[in-house]
Structure 1
């Protein structure tokens, strides 16, 4: 997106991502934020098919282990067969299906686990195009899609998709999101094939545990630790990170992966502490609130209360799992 003239810092702010997230190559972000990035950039560039343009320029390696399992495969078909089982290395919010047609062609279906129609439309545009962009980087010969089916309505100015995807057989308003590839193209060798390295990577992949539920266990741990830190009178980011025996960066990253932030969880803990004190009938003047919540004085409580009014309307329920990308 930056290569198309957008300022990365502005994009991050508009999408609600902290700037440090770009410094950590191992961070996953909530899929809602991922979708927001597409929306912000597409509007700024006045380009409704931006995910297709970016996906067709796929940089091999961006998908981590999944990409390297693909690139060391013997053929396009063998490589694509690794994408489904290891898709969670890229996103926990997507499922892929592979169906062999009667004529030998293969249809790859896309489905997001959580998200509204707009999130689905944008992420599936990316999915369709990256499924072509990835093998095009390393295939010994060129190839295009046979057919593309999308549930979304036709965007305006989508004719560039014909050249990007290599087919005019693009059906909008379909019953599914999918891309069909020629069976013969799946036998195309990959220039990066490496059977020895492939076996090593498969052994490594077999030892990698499945991704943990992002929105439950870690947030619960932070909530418990924040409650203890409030009792002790030190709720700084560094103090809570020490209690959890992680670095401050790891703490921030884990919270981001869970769809929340340090500031949100600190506000949540302080609001809960106030509720408990109020439920016990304690007199809660501003001075007492400052003491309970670890603030320097009443003025800090006044400033925080204005933020809490907004926060109270957007609290997140953590009972359900949330996908990440």
Structure 2
């Protein structure tokens, strides 16, 4: 499987948050096969699963399951790579968070963000994906805590969300969460999200600068293009997501869409540590998680959206992925 990666700038923020919590990252990096010096290289990237192991080890060593919330204390635009500066020069937080969604993969590929208007405000939704390891909840909690702290830092205002949605059981001690978010908390939620007031999202930012915003857009766009071109896996995954609702896409069709021969596609995927079959399976598994979280979709509809002509094949695949039926999975949600 092609490894998702995290930018060194985001990894450095995580390390600062962990060190603030008394974890000696310099000592545990070698033990996890990570290069501590690479944190200072702006072009270095760290494997997603290695970051998951870092979170797990940090919780173990510190005895603090809420250690991810320390990210709220290490706010600096550079943690978001070039994207942080693009956010700063945006006219409003709404425009800034729209940019954050657009360039998210530069910061970390294991996260998917979406930002959408609600009846009375805006919702920033976060999904974290693991590679071979399920993602650490601390990673998602850190991302939300950081995003909110960054909004407060940018505006100079004590922004309080309408609500904070967190997946997973409520912690034994919710106090650190109350202190960081200063908003109503909802645990066991269907997804991670910050719900913002409309007025907070639409007030002008003191750091707004239209010409700088365009410059940073160009930098971020170039970086993303360079980064994506080097990863056929991501391009193939996008094509698969588009084609799956029409039935299981053939390798030949995906290769044609990418203007590659079948052989070149297979070779490039192999170089990135995956195969066509593996990528198809991974993409279906990820989409299945997303679709089942949407209560308005029936299991039959989910099966067809994932390109299974026969629902029984979907049920078999699902049991292989998650060790339970789609119905049991949805009930657990």
* TM-score (structure 1 length as normaliser): 0.62
Larger RCO, structure (CA 8 Å, separation 6 or more): 1
The structural deviation recorded for 1:213 is: 7.8
1:65 aligned to which of 46, 69, 82: 82
Q: Equivalent residue for 2:147?
A: 131
Q: Equivalent residue for 2:58?
A: 41
1:109 aligned to which of 110, 115, 125: 125
Q: Equivalent residue for 1:143?
A: 159
Contact 1:88/1:211, CA 8 A, preserved across alignment: no
Change over 3 Å in CA distance of 1:118–1:153 after alignment to 2? farther
The structural deviation recorded for 1:57 is: 3.1
Contact 1:56/1:164, CA 8 A, preserved across alignment: no
Contact 1:60/1:137, CA 8 A, preserved across alignment: no
CA distance in structure 1 between the aligned counterparts of 2:160 and 2:218, rounded to whole angstroms: 32
Q: Deviations over 1:182-238 (max 9, x none)?
A: 111112332322222112222333333152488889xxxxxxxxxxxxxxxxxxxxx
Contact 1:14/1:40, CA 8 A, preserved across alignment: no
The structural deviation recorded for 1:21 is: 2.1
Q: Which moved more, 1:86-95 or 1:106-115?
A: 106-115
* TM-score (structure 2 length as normaliser): 0.60
CA distance in structure 1 between the aligned counterparts of 2:169 and 2:177, rounded to whole angstroms: 14
Question: Larger Cα Rg: Structure 1 or Structure 2?
Answer: 1
Contact 1:48/1:157, CA 8 A, preserved across alignment: no
Q: Equivalent residue for 1:188?
A: 203
Give secondary structure in 2 for the equivalent of 1:133. Answer: helix
Q: Which moved more, 1:117-126 or 1:195-204?
A: 117-126
Contact 1:215/1:318, CA 8 A, preserved across alignment: no
Contact 1:92/1:211, CA 8 A, preserved across alignment: no
CA distance in structure 1 between the aligned counterparts of 2:197 and 2:86, rounded to whole angstroms: 22
Give secondary structure in 1 for the equivalent of 2:164. Answer: strand
CA distance in structure 2 between the aligned counterparts of 1:191 and 1:210, rounded to whole angstroms: 32
The structural deviation recorded for 1:56 is: 4.7
CA distance in structure 2 between the aligned counterparts of 1:84 and 1:185, rounded to whole angstroms: 18
Aligned residues: CA RMSD: 2.7
The structural deviation recorded for 1:138 is: 1.8
CA distance in structure 2 between the aligned counterparts of 1:123 and 1:5, rounded to whole angstroms: 17
Q: Equivalent residue for 1:166?
A: 182
Q: Deviations over 1:21-42 (max 9, x none)?
A: 2242221111111112222122
Structure with higher helix content: 2
CA distance in structure 1 between the aligned counterparts of 2:230 and 2:45, rounded to whole angstroms: 10
Change over 3 Å in CA distance of 1:44–1:188 after alignment to 2? farther
Q: Equivalent residue for 2:305?
A: none
1:318 aligned to which of 274, 295, 316: 274
Give aligned pairs, total: 223
1:179 to 2:194 alignment:
yes
Unaligned runs of 5+ in 2: 1-17, 234-270, 283-333
CA distance in structure 1 between the aligned counterparts of 2:175 and 2:96, rounded to whole angstroms: 29
Contact 1:140/1:189, CA 8 A, preserved across alignment: no
Q: Equivalent residue for 1:89?
A: 106
Unaligned runs of 5+ in 1: 218-264, 266-315
1:99 aligned to which of 110, 116, 129: 116
CA distance in structure 2 between the aligned counterparts of 1:101 and 1:23, rounded to whole angstroms: 39
2:217 aligned to which of 202, 205, 223: 202
CA distance in structure 2 between the aligned counterparts of 1:213 and 1:38, rounded to whole angstroms: 30
CA distance in structure 2 between the aligned counterparts of 1:36 and 1:55, rounded to whole angstroms: 21
